[in-house]
Amino acid sequence: MKTYVVISKMLLIMAILFSAILLAGFSDFFDSLSLIFVVSMTFFLTIAGFSPKQIKNSIIAVFSIESKHSILIEAKEYWLSLIRNLIVSGVFGTLIGFILILGRLDDPSKVDPMMSIAYLTFFYAVLFTLILPIPAYFIITERLQSVSKNDEIKRHYKTKSGLISSIIGIIGIITVFLISIGFPKPEISVFFSRASIQFALGGGVAFTTFSLLKKEKLGGYLTLGMALSSMIGLIGGLIQMFRYSNNLSKIGPAAALSMLSLFIALFAMILVSFPISDKYQYKGDNTNSIFRLTEFVFPLLVLIFSSIIMFMIFAKI
């Protein structure tokens, strides 16, 4: 596929999306803090998992018609991970907004505007995925079909630049999170509880035993384990919410258990399991598809269930 065809397709997608936004009302879809959050969180999450050389090669591969098979394979993994990173960043921002809203329900008049702003992070994430990562992923996938497998894939997780980018990425993720919740006086206690930590991280710790024989799968097992165990915390909180549906004083703690179990699991995935998975980029294994599916499905389930919880609470106010 020629370069000008790639650029024209991307420009067409951008024109359609932005024209729709302008027709609907630009001011309703713009919030600078939400936009900065999505961009910065995605950036740091990406460099935590990929070396600068991998990122550079993956971007060039989209526009180059002479890329090697190994470069295209890594580029495919990079763009797929970037799609995931954008979605996760959007959902993570929305979840942070929801948790902050739960702590300020004493003023119902401010709830609706805060809800709309909370959803904007996910809106921006979807918008950005449609503009570049998704078209780039399909371009690379199409090009792979016409390139012979004549070289080996080089790993970058042991290089000095890869290690430095990982450290910078993780520090950046934590910094963006702290700023988003009110740095220099962040409301950290609102986001963590002993029960939710046990639910969210217990499965991840247990599932690491499956990766002892093959450490390349550590990130995948961590993701799968935390996703499953956090769902137990979610279900436990929902059961309590339905049981005490007429008691507002008990709905709040039950909602917190559900929401925080999802939040801590997602945060742990962002900090630990996603960067590990991206660094190793294991391929040729059927379990890889399960891990990749979990990385995409879990954030969407988090968005759906957290939205349901919020609407249940608002129905009682």
Residue-wise pLDDT tens digits, 84-122: 999 999 999 999 988 888 777 666 666 666 777 788 899
Domain end: 185, 204, 229, which one? 185
Range of the domain at 124: 1-185
Q: Structural domain tally of the chain?
A: 2
Same domain, 130 and 103: yes
- For residues 181 and 201, state if they share a domain: no
* Residue 55 scores a pLDDT above 60: yes
User: How confident is the model at residue 247, as a pLDDT?
Assistant: 73
**Span 197-218, average pLDDT:** 70
Residue 131 pLDDT more than 60?
yes
Residue 4 identity: Y
* Average pLDDT for the chain: 79
Asked whether residue 228 falls in the same domain as residue 253, the answer is yes
Q: Which residue has the tokens 């945060």?
A: 267
- The answer to whether residue 16 scores a pLDDT higher than 80 is no
- Between 182 and 262, where is the model more confident? 262
- In a shared domain, residues 78 and 196: no
Note whether 46 and 81 are within 8 A (CB): yes
Residue 133, Ramachandran bin (φ over 0: left; ψ between -120 and 50: alpha; else beta): alpha
Residue 70 sits in the same domain as residue 36: yes
How many residues are given for the chain?
Answer: 317
pLDDT over 50 at 11, yes or no: yes
On the 0-12 / 13-18 / 19+ scale of CB atoms within 10 A, 275 is: buried
- Give which of 103, 130, 84 is closest to 274, Cα–Cα: 84
Q: Give the H/E segment covering residue 281.
A: none
pTM for the model: 0.85
Could you say which of 132, 152, 185 is where a domain stops?
185
Could you read off the pLDDT of 244-282 as tens digits, one per residue? Answer: 777 767 777 788 888 888 999 999 999 988 988 887 765
Q: Same structural domain for residues 202 and 288? A: yes
Residue 32 shares a structural domain with residue 128? yes
- Judged against a pLDDT cut of 70, whether residue 14 lies above it is answered with no
